[in-house]
């Protein structure tokens, strides 16, 4: 993989964030998603690479762009696999709340898990707790392990959990253990990634969210030296068959870092669409707009924060207006 891709993909997530941010608070999640997707699609084809979408907006017949199997890039350059979530948190943008991201992960060909579009139980932690947690252990055991690894008291810990009825029991377990909770409306990629940044104040992500988002989070955590573990949660017969077709007969199979993203290299970029603990969202300031992006590479371990100041006068097409 080429290191120059690291900088190139920032342009892609920035474009997606800029276009979808125009939809903030308008109550239209599909439009926000479409804006991000088509902006991302347009910029991808200016990048010298031979990319294949392995995690995208869906199968070819249901997604007009960034569908699984779609080829991206100019065709010259490294052969890579690409996972995208042009807008991770469509509802977040529709409502104008926290932590919507435009996200891309890239790895060498055949190194990303082709996660099916179904639920996945996840446990994510930052570097200090790597190797000390186990998705098959009890909630309290994992919380204790993280507290010990981070030299914190249990009551100092913050667990991020998607605010869903399915997490009622999990929430009770965390409360009973004495840790604190941040319930989030959507956006568990941000939740997982934030566990690896001390200043975000979150220590562990627990609960069930999308499997594709698990792969994106895994690439982020690979770059950051953190860890995610996951277990597919097929909801019905069709999804169980889907798992079997993938060769996962046993849905108790735990996906570890190497399963999500093999090899030693991968890159990850996320631009804030709405404000979050780590990244500020897009701000429109008349003739310019600002973005904040985190971009990182597993091989070198370099993590960069990039502030973009975009001239809407010189590049009026950069933001697709609603």
Q: Which does 203 bind (CB under 5 to 8 A by kind): ligand VTB, Mg ion, none?
A: none
- Cα distance between residue 196 and residue 50, in whole Å: 31
What is the β-pairing status of strands 204-210 and 180-184?
A: unpaired
The minimum distance between CB 294 and Mg ion, in angstroms, equals 17
The minimum distance between CB 94 and ligand VTB, in angstroms, equals 11
Site for ligand VTB in 140-199 (CB under 6 A): 162, 164, 186-189
In terms of phi and psi (left: phi > 0; alpha: psi -120 to 50; beta: otherwise), the region of 132 is: alpha
Binding segment for Mg ion (CB under 5 A), chosen from 83-91, 250-258, 271-279, 295-303, is: 83-91
**Looking at beta carbons only, is 108 or 239 nearer to Mg ion?**
239
- Cα distance between residue 74 and residue 167, in whole Å: 44
What is the contact mask toward Mg ion in residues 209 to 228, using x (rule: CB under 5 A)?
--------------------
The minimum distance between CB 145 and Mg ion, in angstroms, equals 28
Q: Can you give the C-alpha Rg of the chain in angstroms?
A: 19
**Looking at beta carbons only, is 18 or 118 nearer to ligand VTB?**
118
What is the β-pairing status of strands 180-184 and 158-162?
A: parallel
Q: Does 234 bind ligand VTB (CB under 6 A)?
A: no
**Looking at beta carbons only, is 73 or 210 nearer to ligand VTB?**
210
The minimum distance between CB 297 and ligand VTB, in angstroms, equals 23
Q: Does 85 bind Mg ion (CB under 5 A)?
A: yes
Q: Which does 126 bind (CB under 5 to 8 A by kind): ligand VTB, Mg ion, none?
A: none
- Count H helices and E strands in the chain, helices first: 9, 13
Contact 129, 145 (CB under 8 A): yes
The minimum distance between CB 1 and ligand VTB, in angstroms, equals 26
Contact 7, 47 (CB under 8 A): no
The two three-digit tokens of residue 247, written as one number = 């060769």
Single residue of 73, 116, 210, 276 touching ligand VTB by CB under 6 A? 210
- Which among 141, 120, 146 is positioned nearest to 259, based on CA atoms? 120
- Cβ count near 89 (within 10 Å): 31
Single residue of 8, 70, 88, 227 touching Mg ion by CB under 5 A? 88
The two three-digit tokens of residue 117, written as one number = 């579009």
Site for ligand VTB in 253-292 (CB under 6 A): none
- Which among 215, 57, 184 is positioned nearest to 122, based on CA atoms? 215
Enumerate binding residues for ligand VTB (CB under 6 A): 88-89, 162, 164, 186-189, 209-210, 213
């Amino acid at each position: 993989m080429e290191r120059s891709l690291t900088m190139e993909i920032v342009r892609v997530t920035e474009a997606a964030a800029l276009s979808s941010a125009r939809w903030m608070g308008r109550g239209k999640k599909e439009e926000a998603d479409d804006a991000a997707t088509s902006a991302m699609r347009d910029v991808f084809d200016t990048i010298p690479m031979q990319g294949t979408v392995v995690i995208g907006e869906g199968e070819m017949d249901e997604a007009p762009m960034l569908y699984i199997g779609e080829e991206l890039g100019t065709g010259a350059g490294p052969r890579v696999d690409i996972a995208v979530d042009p807008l991770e948190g469509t509802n977040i943008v529709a409502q104008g709340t926290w932590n919507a991201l435009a996200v891309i992960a890239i790895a060498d060909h055949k190194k990303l898990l082709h996660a099916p579009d179904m639920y996945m139980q996840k446990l994510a932690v930052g570097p200090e707790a790597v190797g000390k947690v186990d998705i098959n252990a009890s909630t309290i055991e994992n919380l204790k392990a993280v507290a010990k690894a981070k030299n914190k008291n249990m009551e100092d810990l913050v667990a991020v959990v998607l605010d869903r009825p399915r997490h009622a029991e999990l929430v009770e377990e965390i409360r009973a253990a004495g840790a604190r909770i941040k319930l989030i409306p959507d956006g568990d990629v941000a939740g997982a990634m934030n566990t690896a940044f001390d200043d975000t104040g979150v220590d562990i992500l627990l609960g069930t969210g999308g499997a594709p988002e698990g792969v994106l989070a895994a690439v982020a955590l690979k770059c950051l030296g953190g860890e995610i573990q996951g277990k597919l949660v097929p909801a019905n017969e069709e999804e169980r068959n889907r798992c079997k077709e993938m060769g996962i007969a046993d849905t108790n199979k735990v996906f570890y870092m190497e399963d999500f993203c093999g090899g030693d290299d991968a890159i990850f970029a996320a631009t804030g669409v709405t404000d979050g603990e780590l990244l500020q969202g897009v701000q429109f300031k008349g003739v310019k707009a600002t973005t904040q992006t985190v971009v990182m590479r597993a091989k070198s371990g370099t993590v960069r924060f990039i502030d973009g100041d975009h001239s809407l006068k010189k590049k009026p097409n950069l933001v697709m207006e609603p």
